[in-house]
Structure 1
Amino acid sequence: MNKPLPIKAPIFLALLLATSPAVAAPKSDLWSFWDKSDESNGGAFEHKAWQQTLDTYLVEKGQHNLFNYSAVSTADREALDQYIETITSKDPRSYSLDEQFAYWVNLYNALTVQLILDEYPVKSISKLGGFLSFGPWDDNVATVAGKSLTLNDIEHRILRPIWNDSRIHYAVNCASLSCPNLATDAFTAANTENLLENAALQFTNSEKGARIEGSTLTLSSIYDWYGSDFGDDEQAILREIDKYRDGKKLEGWSGKIKYEYDWSLNQP
């Protein structure tokens, strides 16, 4: 009787991952080092270079804000790199909480664009990262105040636990078509509330946020991955979405509910 051929380790791991349940989304888990501010500091971070990047390369098309990665010039790429280098050289803990929030959201989004540009052309951010990883979210991408940071650190260990605001999910952008839009304006302490409200309105009223087809309600997978940030149960999540919807309200929905997400790159 012939013996089966041995499966090499990398192939076996790939097959195992392909047949295993999806890995759970990161939980909100405070990194206490960052839970500090100086409300007496009236200083502000400078985000003009990030705003210039958005003005030049963000394209509004239907329900999507698309980023024109292929058109980024060498000079503008250097300006983006310099912006990231400049703000990461500062310690945000010495600023007010409002300044910090804008700092972290802008840094997260700028780093995401930088990661795509580093590997462009690429069809999806999910193709980035180390061997057998799904995306770059656990890769070290910046150093701030002597601490190495990943995108997951910024979102799930700083932004979510310190501010406890579900609208954070509408503000950070993952360079994908199903992601809430990259805002056309850089966040500042002064405009944060307006930008968060606008982001929530845009997403909940778009088909990538919620779509009704017959007896089926399709929601963004964000409401599945991070449901606890929006409500204690499915109906509470629908009620939270309804706060911003102009069309048919979702609370009380008794039909089928499914979740979907398109990881295709958010490019024209």
Structure 2
Amino acid sequence: MRKLLIVLLLPLLAACASVERLALPPATPLPGTALTQSAPPPGTQVSHSDWSVFLSRYVAPDVQGVNRVAYSQVTQSDRARLDRYLTDLQAVDSARLTRDQQLAYWINLYNAVTVDVILDNYPVASIRDIREGPLSIGPWNQPLVQVGGETLTLNDIEHRIIRPTYNEPRIHYALNCAAVGCPNLMGRAWEAKTLERDLAAAERAYINDPRGVRFDENGGLILSKIYIWFREDFGPNEQAVLTYIQTAADPELRAKLQEVRRVKAYKYDWTLNDAAAGS
């Protein structure tokens, strides 16, 4: 009876995840913008040192390996440092950056703005509780920064700049939405010179973490919802996504994945990645 119930519930669980997927903006470039035009090497160096200092002070892993942010401990001087960093980023001419410099720039901008939004509204249990109105499910459509004369939301940065421009599925392991279920917020800024190495490391870390890929007590495969929200970034269908995941899975996990033909469920923990809650 229990097995029959599980079989009956699988389509419903998949349907819920699919509805969430439909609610996300498509990966469509911003019209008439030069924000993603890149320069040939060497480009222009952008300092992310203030962001690295902030992250080194307030980001640390808990016992489960989840990088948590000590939002409640941020000092006034470090909050001013973050604000200054965001002001400096908004003054950057992104067209003078190389492709890798640009991608590091946009990832850092997205993550720093997200932390800034949390600090503006702290204490909060989840980023999804930060709403513009009754129909809002988070701050992602709020106009928060201005770059090159364009007023941008977090959704603009992720779905209208990064995803359609760089064709890089591993950005989903770099962008952080301040949730426990999200890939870790790195403890230092992203930099062009280490971009490939850090993307590969972030991918391996998340795929081999229960937040990304795990099996339940009955052997059912549970994937993070990022693999259905952004399925087309990883592959044309579920089987292609499973094949993709295997490329970064550790040997034991890879062997188990090779025996699986379907995903039982997609899950995601929206609890705030707050150090105070994880201690």
Give TM-score scaled by structure 2 length: 0.86
- Deviating above 6 A after TM superposition, structure 1's stretches of 4 or more consecutive aligned residues are none
Corresponding residue for 1:215?
Answer: 219
Corresponding residue for 1:14?
Answer: none
Between stretches 67-76 and 252-261, larger displacement belongs to 252-261
1:76-111 per-residue CA deviation (whole Å, 9 max, x = no partner) reads: 000000000011112211221111111000000000
Corresponding residue for 1:81?
Answer: 83
Match for residue 241 of structure 1 among 229, 245, 248 = 245
Corresponding residue for 1:65?
Answer: 67
- Do 1:235 and 1:252's aligned partners in 2 also have CA atoms closer than 8 Å? no
Between stretches 29-38 and 135-144, larger displacement belongs to 29-38
- Do 1:215 and 1:255's aligned partners in 2 also have CA atoms closer than 8 Å? no
Match for residue 155 of structure 2 among 152, 161, 172 = 152
Corresponding residue for 1:31?
Answer: 30
Relative contact order (alpha carbons < 8 A, sep ≥ 6): 1 or 2 greater?
2
1:28-82 per-residue CA deviation (whole Å, 9 max, x = no partner) reads: 1112512311214532100000000110000112220000100000000000000
Between stretches 248-257 and 129-138, larger displacement belongs to 248-257
Question: Which whole-Å CA distance do the structure 1 matches of 2:262 and 2:96 have between them?
Answer: 50
Give TM-score scaled by structure 1 length: 0.89
Which residue identity lines up with residue 261 of structure 1 in the other structure?
Y
Bigger share in helix: 2
Which residue identity lines up with residue 190 of structure 1 in the other structure?
K
| Structure 2: runs of 5 or more not aligned | 1-18
| Structure 1: runs of 5 or more not aligned | 1-20
Which residue identity lines up with residue 40 of structure 2 in the other structure?
E
Match for residue 180 of structure 2 among 171, 177, 182 = 177
RMSD, aligned α-carbons: 1.3
Larger Rg: 1
Count of residues paired in the alignment: 248
Change (3 A) 1:256 1:238: closer
1:156-196 per-residue CA deviation (whole Å, 9 max, x = no partner) reads: 11111111010010000000000011012211110111110
Question: Which whole-Å CA distance do the structure 2 matches of 1:68 and 1:51 have between them?
Answer: 15
